[in-house]
C-alpha cells in the first residue's frame, strides 16, 4: 500500500478534512493533497506530524493491523560489528597502500589539507 493512500484512509476514517490536518500539522492543504495522491513522498518528520494529527502511532501509517507488528529479528550487534571491522580493515589496507606511493612532499600536502579540513569541521560545530 502506498503511504499517501494510507494517510487518506486514516484521515477519512476519523472524519477529518485536509483542512483539519492542515491546522493540526501546519502543513499546507495542497501539500497534503499531493502526498495523498502520490505526487510527493513525505519525509519521516512529516509522517510524524501526520501521525500526531491523526492521533495514531507512527507504525499505523505502515501497518494495517490493530496490533503492533512483530519485531524483526535483527542480526546480533557483534556480527554486524565484525562485518564492519572486516570492511574497515580492507579499506585501511587500500589507503595505506595508496599512501605508501606518495613521496614526502605529497604526504606533507595531504597531511596539511586533512588538518585544515579537520579544523574547519571543529569551528562549524
For residue 121, what pLDDT is reported? 67
pLDDT, one tens digit per residue, over 86-99 is: 778 888 888 888 88
Report the interhelical angle of 44-54 vs 18-25 (nearest 10°).
Answer: 110
pLDDT, one tens digit per residue, over 19-66 is: 999 999 999 999 999 999 999 999 999 999 999 999 999 888 888 777
Its domain, for residue 96, covers 86-124
At a CB cut-off of 8 Å and minimum separation 6, what does 121 contact? none
Whether 55 and 96 share a structural domain: no
At a CB cut-off of 8 Å and minimum separation 6, what does 4 contact? 35, 36, 37, 38
**Has this prediction a pTM greater than 0.75?**
no
Q: Is residue 74 part of a domain?
A: no
User: Domain boundary at 44, 61, 78, which?
Assistant: 61
Residues written for the chain? 125
Amino acid at each position: 500500500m502506498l503511504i499517501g493512500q494510507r494517510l487518506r484512509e486514516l484521515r477519512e476514517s476519523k472524519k477529518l478534512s485536509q483542512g483539519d490536518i492542515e491546522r493540526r500539522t501546519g502543513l499546507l492543504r495542497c501539500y497534503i493533497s499531493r502526498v495523498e495522491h502520490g505526487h510527493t513522498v513525505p519525509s519521516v518528520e512529516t509522517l510524524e506530524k501526520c501521525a500526531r494529527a491523526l492521533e495514531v502511532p507512527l507504525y499505523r501509517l505502515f501497518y494495517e493491523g490493530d496490533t503492533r507488528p512483530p519485531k524483526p529479528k535483527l542480526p546480533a550487534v557483534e556480527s554486524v560489528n565484525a562485518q564492519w571491522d572486516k570492511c574497515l580493515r580492507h579499506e585501511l589496507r587500500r589507503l595505506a597502500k595508496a599512501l605508501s606511493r606518495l613521496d614526502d612532499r605529497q604526504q606533507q600536502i595531504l597531511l596539511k589539507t586533512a588538518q585544515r579540513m579537520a579544523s574547519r569541521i571543529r569551528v562549524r560545530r
